[in-house]
Amino acid sequence: MSTATYLAYDYPLLSMFWTMLWFFLWILWFILLFRIIVDIFRDDALSGWAKAGWLVFVILLPFLGVFVYVIARGKNMGRREIAQAREQQQQFDDYVRETAGGGHRSSADELKKLAQLRADGHISEDEYRRAKELVLSDHGPAGAKHEPTAPAAGA
């Protein structure tokens, strides 16, 4: 028989499962280690020195450092992660609302802006009336709404 055939007989199925289990646990440990390092930097309650101390402890004594960190601060790790996810979702929702609604203002919003410009003296009564007619009739190039502009300074 060849050498490759002997290798197959020398490595039984149970040994392969044990190797896979240890490899899986090793990867899980690295995932936990990196999540703890991210959590150390994410926590705003820790001072810079406390963050440095935890980081040194987790890097120099990784198994003990991870174990102690999970016991001492593990309960709040999930809370900080959930808070960050909610904050990111809120920022995304605000961005979508701003982007989707920012390009199309209602006629009421434009009339309010016109009234404010008139009250501040930036436009005359005649300019206000013409702009109001444009807003209410929604006439203009390609149906676009016109935004009134303030006259130039000194005009």
The answer for residues whose C-beta is within 8 angstroms of residue 141's C-beta and 6 or more apart is none
Kindly give the residue spans of alpha helices, DSSP state H, lying in 43-61.
Answer: 48-60
Separation between Cα atoms, residue 126 and residue 129, nearest integer Å: 5
pLDDT at 15: 83
Separation between Cα atoms, residue 84 and residue 145, nearest integer Å: 39
- The answer to whether the CB of 54 falls within 8 A of the CB of 46 is yes
Of 24-33, 43-52, 139-148, minimum mean pLDDT range: 139-148
Separation between Cα atoms, residue 149 and residue 69, nearest integer Å: 60
Report the pLDDT averaged over residues 121-131. Answer: 90
pLDDT tier for residue 98 given thresholds of 50, 70 and 90: confident
The one-character DSSP state at 150 is: P
Its pTM stands at 0.52
What percentage of residues in the chain have a pLDDT greater than 70?
80
